[in-house]
Amino acid sequence: MTINTKYVGKAPNRVEGPAKVTGTAKYSAEFEVPNLAYGVVVSSTIAKGRIKSIGADKVLALPGVLQVFSHENVPRQAWFDRAWKDDIAPGGSPFRPLHDDEVKFSQQPVALVVAETFELARYAAGILEVEYKEEKHETDIEQKRDEGHAPGKGKSGYKPPKSRGNANKALDEAEHRIREEYIHGTQHHNPMELYASTVHYHPDGKLTIYDKTQGVYNCQQYVAKVFGLSKDDARVINLYNGGAFGSGLRPQYELFLSVMAALELKRSVRVTLTRQQMFSIGHRPHTLQTLEMGTNPDGTLAALKHYCLHETSRFEEYTENVVNWSGMLYQCDNVHLSNQVAALDVYTPQDMRAPGAATGSFALEVAMDEMAYAAGLDPLDFRIRNYAETDQSENLPFSSKRLRDCYHLGAEKFCWSKRPMAPRSMREGNRLIGWGVAGGVWDAQMNKASAKATITADGYLTVESAAGENGTGTYTIMTQIAAETLGLPLEAVTFRLGDTNMPEAPVQGGSWTAATVGTAVQKACQALGEKLLKLAQKMDDSPLKGASLDDVEFVNGQLRLRTAPEQSVVLRDVLQTSGEREIAADSTAIPNLINMAKYSMHSHNVVFAEVMVDEDLGTVHVSRVLNVCAAGRILNQKTARSQVLGSVVWGISMALMEETVPDHRFGRYMNHNYAEYHIPVNADIHNIEVLFVEEEDPYVNPLGVKGIGELGLLGVAAAITNAVYHATGKRVRRLPIYLDKLL
Partner 1 sequence: MSNSATPNTTDSPALAPPATSPVTLRINGSDMTLQLAPWTTLLDALREYAGLTGTKKGCDHGQCGSCTVLVDGKRINSCLTLAMLHEGAEITTIEGLGQEDNLHPLQQAFLDHDAFQCGYCTPGQICSAQGLINEGRAHTEDEIREMMSGNLCRCGAYVGILNAVKEVVDAQTARRQ
The Cα–Cα gap between 198 and 33 comes to 8
Q: How far is CA 414 from CA 142, 398, 404, 411, 420, in A?
A: 38, 27, 15, 5, 13
| Residue 33 contacts residue 268 (beta carbons within 8 Å) | yes
Q: Which of 10, 20, 408, 424 binds partner 1 (CB under 8 A)?
A: 20
User: Does 513 engage in binding with partner 1 (CB under 8 A)?
Assistant: no
Dist. CA 651–CA 640, nearest whole Å: 17
**245 counts as binding partner 1 under rule CB under 8 A:** yes
Tell me the C-alpha distance between 113 and 96, whole Å.
17
648 contacts partner 1 (rule: CB under 8 A): yes
Q: Find the part of the chain contacting partner 1 (CB under 8 A) among 20-28, 87-95, 296-304, 581-589.
A: 20-28
Binding part of the chain for partner 1, among 162-170, 344-352, 574-582, 682-690 by CB under 8 A, reads 682-690
Catalytic residue among 16, 504, 695, 710: 710
Shorter beta-carbon distance to partner 1: residue 456 or 673: 673
Which is nearer to partner 1, 229 or 645 (by Cβ)? 645
Q: Is 618 within 8 Å of 611 (Cβ atoms)? A: no
Exactly one of 679, 731, 738, 741 binds partner 1 (CB under 8 A); which one?
679
Residue of the chain from 7, 8, 14, 284 that contacts partner 1 (CB under 8 A): 14
Residues 6 or more apart in contact with residue 104 via CB below 8 angstroms: 48, 95, 313, 314, 315, 345, 347
Count the neighbouring beta carbons within 10 Å of the beta carbon of residue 494: 17
Out of 7, 8, 29, 346, the residue judged to bind partner 1 by CB under 8 A: 29
710 is catalytic: yes
Binding mask 595-634 for partner 1 (x = CB under 8 A): ----------------------------------------
Part of the chain binding partner 1 (CB under 8 A), chosen from 52-60, 70-78, 224-232, 384-392: 52-60
Which span sits near partner 1 by CB under 8 A: 70-78, 268-276, 542-550, 586-594? Answer: 268-276
Q: Are 281 and 347 in contact (CB under 8 A)?
A: yes
Q: Which of 639, 660, 701, 721 binds partner 1 (CB under 8 A)?
A: 639
* CA-wise closest residue to 705 among 462, 522, 464, 467: 522
Scan residues 148-207 and list those touching partner 1 (CB under 8 A).
Answer: 190-194
Q: From the CB of 609, what's the least distance to partner 1, in Å? A: 15
14 and 475 in contact (C-beta within 8 Å)?
yes
- How far apart CA 473 and CA 643 sit, in angstroms, is 9
Pairing of strands 65-70, 301-313: unpaired
- HSE of 690 in the Cβ direction (CA atoms, 13 Å)? 24
Minimum distance, C-beta of residue 124 to partner 1, in the bound complex (Å): 8
Closer to partner 1 by Cβ: residue 183 or 645: 645
> Which of the stretches 98-106, 140-148, 592-600, 677-685 binds partner 1 when contact is defined by CB under 8 A?
677-685
* Helix (H), strand (E) at residue 718: helix 716-728
61 near partner 1, judged by CB under 8 A: yes
C-beta closer to partner 1: residue 476 or 587? 476
We find the least distance from the C-beta atom of residue 58 to partner 1, in angstroms, to be: 5
Examine residue 688 and tell whether it contacts partner 1 (CB under 8 A).
yes
CB 140 within 8 A of CB 54: no
129: number of Cβ within 10 Å? 11
Report which secondary-structure segment, H or E, holds 432: strand 431-443
Q: In 3D, which of 421, 25, 53 has the Cα closest to residue 238?
A: 25
* Closer residue to partner 1 in complex, CB, 368/720: 720
Q: Report the site for partner 1 in 384-423 (rule: CB under 8 A).
A: none
Active site residues: 710
